Amino acid sequence: MDEQNPYRGPDAAVAEFSSGDELAGRGARLGAAIIDAIILMVIVMPLMYMGGYWTTAMAAAQAGEQVGLGTTLMWAVVGLVVFAIVQGIPLNASGQTWGKKVLKIKIVDLQGGKPPLGRLLGLRYFPVQLASNIPLLGPVVALVDVLMIFRNDRRCGHDLIAGTRVVHAD
């Protein structure tokens, strides 16, 4: 008599990562993100100064206001374009940003292969970066995205969206 037991574990075999790559540590991922942020800031901050953002921000602060959403989103798009230009070359070549190259980690798809550049930029980076610029909601989105690294598979929200993971590079 074969009864249906709702408490029985599933019969399906759960596949491990097929490539055998070891997941990158949380510290290495944080370090790479910091390096990438510093590179981006060194380029974008002077552009923001020359483009008048700091003058606008100071005037808004003195008036007790915030910089307008349009201005914020415009500079977010500028930052994304700069990121795509600066990081696009190593991402396309090896699935690594400059920070990931320094710390010897790389982005792979779930089968262990190098994801295409369009998928990395269009799914892994741009959606969360744009969402993080929405007033009030944006910082929460960014925080939740990053805190997901404490899952067992160490995949952040942007990894889940793009179907990627970060592993040690050879």
- pLDDT at residue 17, as a whole number: 45
Structure confidence by residue, pLDDT tens digits, 4-31: 777 777 676 554 444 457 999 999 999 9
To which H or E segment does residue 166 belong?
Answer: strand 164-168
Residue 167 CA, chain-centre distance (Å), reads: 15
Report the alpha-carbon distance of residue 139 to residue 145 in Å, rounded: 10
The 3-state DSSP class for residue 111 equals coil
**Overall residue count recorded for the chain in this entry:** 170
Give how far Cα 59 sits from Cα of 50, 54, 79, Å: 16, 8, 22
Q: What is the structure's pLDDT at 140?
A: 94
What percentage of the chain reaches a pLDDT higher than 70?
A: 92
> pTM to 2 decimals?
0.79
* Rounded Cα distance, 147 and 156, in Å: 7
Distance CA 88, CA 163 (A): 18
**Where do runs of H (alpha helix) occur along 51-136?**
53-62, 69-94, 98-102, 117-119, 126-131
Is it the case that residue 105 has pLDDT exceeding 90? yes
Q: Residue 9 gets which letter from DSSP?
A: P
Q: Is 38 helix (H, G, I), strand (E, B) or coil?
A: helix
pLDDT tens figures, 122-142: 999 999 988 888 888 989 999
Model confidence over 40-67: pLDDT tens digits? 999 999 999 999 999 999 999 999 998 8
**Residue whose structure tokens are 């510093």:** 38
Rounded to whole angstroms, the Cα distance separating 66 from 44 reads: 20
